[in-house]
Amino acid sequence: MTDVLDRARGMRKLVRDEAAESERLRTLSPAIVDEMWASGLMSAFNPAEAGGVEPSFAEMIETWLEMAWQDGSFGWIGIANLPSTFAAASYLPEQGFAEVFTAHDNHVTIGGQYFPNGQGTAVDGGYRLTGAWSFGSGTGHSAYVAAGFLPMDDGEMRWIAEGIPDMRVAFLPREEVVFTDGWHVQGLKGTGSYDYNVADVFVPEYRTIPLFTREPLRGSSPAGRMGLMPVTAAGHAAFALGVAKSMLDDVEELAATKVRMSDMATLASRQTFQKGLAHHVAAWRAARLLVLDAFTTAEAAVAAGNELTPRLRADMRVAAVYATDTARECAEWAHLAAGTTAIREGSRLERGFRDIYTGTQHAFISEKVAMDVAQIWLGIIDDQFGL
């Protein structure tokens, strides 16, 4: 774990120094992007053939948590670019891998939106793709842009099973994409999560992958055989936990000197603060352990050659939802406990509060996911393919 995690830890001073600049640019600063490449962090989650080290789920989670602890935008880039590039490197056919990765000496960053907001008309050798996507996280510095789409045959959607449409992801060279920006937001300002679109762009079949595939063409880690959904879920959980931990740590440090108006006692000496700190730190630790347990249990099952069952997938997704909810509650408490210190622009507490409330709006960790999980547990449904 120390190798990948240390790459992220080594960036602490730079990320702190550049956080305001990333927000000003509305995308990660060039200095941070350059150091992610120089340290090897940018490609670390890739299969070995694409320059990665194929970390375990525990290693991925702790690395993302560290990145988000440093800065929410930095953490969000970690859960956007690293899984996107991992997926392309793991699942692209050989010709696509050679074109996207080998031809660029594996120095490739990928960002974008995987939800199928586009339509790809099937033509000889590939698709004519048209669509518009929002919140393309990490596209500010990505050489290739991911774009989820629905394949269309003679004007009709393609189905892979009853009630389940075919959903694919195209990887487009940056120059083929029209960016409309739109990234003027409350939090996660430094993530370059731009809106973009394409109109009737040809994408070869070999530069697309099935959205829910679990059949890697490269890499030997269980993550590749678990698919993009668990990796994405682990990232969302780790992001929320990392930002919340930064706020809990900062308010604990502040408490030694913070004195509220009309109360001469320091925050640390107040029993209500002591109780709140103990409760929320314990809740945070419990949520982190739940996430590690759910993901490493599923990982071990796959490593042993067993099926990634609907229940294992449900357990991972609900752990991510629970960790997100718990982290948000911890962040809210820390923000309130810090008083006016937390509302001053430029402080980690102020930025963390904006970032966590922006990041936790994501549909991937919404209440709908918890309801799908409960229906699997209750036997109401056998599976939910989107988990």
Rounded-to-integer distance, Cα 7 and Cα 149, Å: 34
Strand partners, 210: 168
Would you call 304 exposed, middle or buried from its count of C-beta atoms within 10 A (0-12, 13-18, 19+)? exposed
- Please give the mean pLDDT across all residues of the chain: 95
Q: What is the pLDDT of residues 96-115, one digit of tens each?
A: 999 999 999 999 999 999 99
3-class SS shares of the chain: helix, strand, coil, % to 5: 55, 20, 25
Q: What is the DSSP letter of 152?
A: E
pLDDT (0 to 100) of residue 261: 64
Cα separation, 199 vs 209, in Å, equals: 20
3-class SS of residue 277: helix
Q: What percent of the chain has pLDDT over 70?
A: 99
pLDDT at site 181: 83
Closest CA to 319 of 387, 375, 380, 383: 387
| pLDDT number for residue 256 | 84
Structure tokens at 58: 């525990």
pLDDT of residue 4: 95
């923000």: which residue's tokens? 335
The average pLDDT across 177-181 equals: 94
Average pLDDT value for residue range 175-181: 95
- pLDDT recorded at residue 162: 83
User: What pLDDT does 264 receive?
Assistant: 73
Summarize the confidence of residues 152-165 as an average pLDDT: 91
pTM beyond 0.75, yes or no:
yes
Return all residues near 164 (Cβ < 8 A) that are at least 6 apart: 385
- 102-107: Cβ within 8 A, 24+ apart: 104/143, 106/43, 106/46, 106/50, 106/51, 107/37, 107/43
Residue 294 predicted with pLDDT over 90 = yes
Give the whole-angstrom CA distance, residue 121 versus residue 154: 8
pLDDT digits (tens, 9 = 90+) for 114-138: 999 999 999 999 999 999 999 999 9
DSSP 32-86: HHHHHHHHTTTTTTS-GGGT-----HHHHHHHHHHHHHH-HHHHHHHHHHHHHHH
DSSP state of 195: E
Q: What is the pLDDT of residue 242?
A: 98
Instruction: Output the pLDDT for position 328.
Output: 97
201: confidence class by pLDDT, cuts 50, 70, 90: very high
- Delineate the domains of the chain, giving CATH numbers in brackets: 3-95 (1.10.540.10), 109-210 (2.40.110.10), 227-378 (1.20.140.10)
Is the pLDDT confidence value at 2 over 70? no
Residue 363 has what pLDDT? 87
Give the pLDDT confidence score for residue 260 in this predicted structure: 72
Q: Which long-range contacts (CB under 8 A, 24 or more apart) does 335-340 make?
A: 335/247, 337/251, 337/255, 337/267, 337/273, 337/276, 337/277, 338/250, 338/251, 338/254, 338/258, 339/258, 339/260
What does the pLDDT look like over 240-275, one tens digit per residue?
999 999 999 999 999 888 777 667 778 888 999 999
pLDDT reported for residue 268:
87
What span, in angstroms and rounded, lies between the C-alpha atoms of 343 and 191? 22
